[in-house]
Amino acid sequence: MTISVWKSGLLSRCPNCGQGPLFQGLLKIRDQCPSCQADLSVEDSGDGPAVFVILVAGAICVPLILILELILRLPIWALILLSLPIISGVCLALLRPFKAMLFAMQWRYRAGEGRVVGGESRE
């Protein structure tokens, strides 16, 4: 039984059964699901989660920091000191769900490395 990509991502659950925890630690995906014994070692989300997190975090943080600048009129050094923990927190909060969603998509659609069909390569 495969659960939805969104549910698997938001709950950080196994994309195969939806029961077992997907992560072992902060961002390390388990080698095997403890519930359904699915082999999760094929995980290779690459830089995809980081790219989406940067885009979403920028869309969230930039307007927030601009509003803080306009309201509080802080010096630039204080604004930087205030914005760094905000940006770091938003990025860390988004990275796990995005990585879980991209892995669930990879699992569902059986994405893998490209292979040459028929044994001949085009050059």
pLDDT in tens, 9-26: 889 998 888 888 999 988
> Looking at residue 121, what is its pLDDT?
56
Gap between the Cα atoms of 10 and 1, Å rounded? 18
Provide CB contacts within 8 A for 2, sequence distance 6+.
15, 16, 18, 107, 108
Longest dimension (CA), the chain: 65
SS3 20: coil
> Looking at residue 51, what is its pLDDT?
93
The CA-atom distances, in angstroms, between 6 and each of 23, 27, 73, 123 are 16, 18, 40, 40
> What are the tens digits of pLDDT across the range 61-104?
999 999 989 999 989 999 999 999 999 999 999 999 999 999 88
Secondary structure element (H or E) that encloses residue 85, with its range: helix 76-108
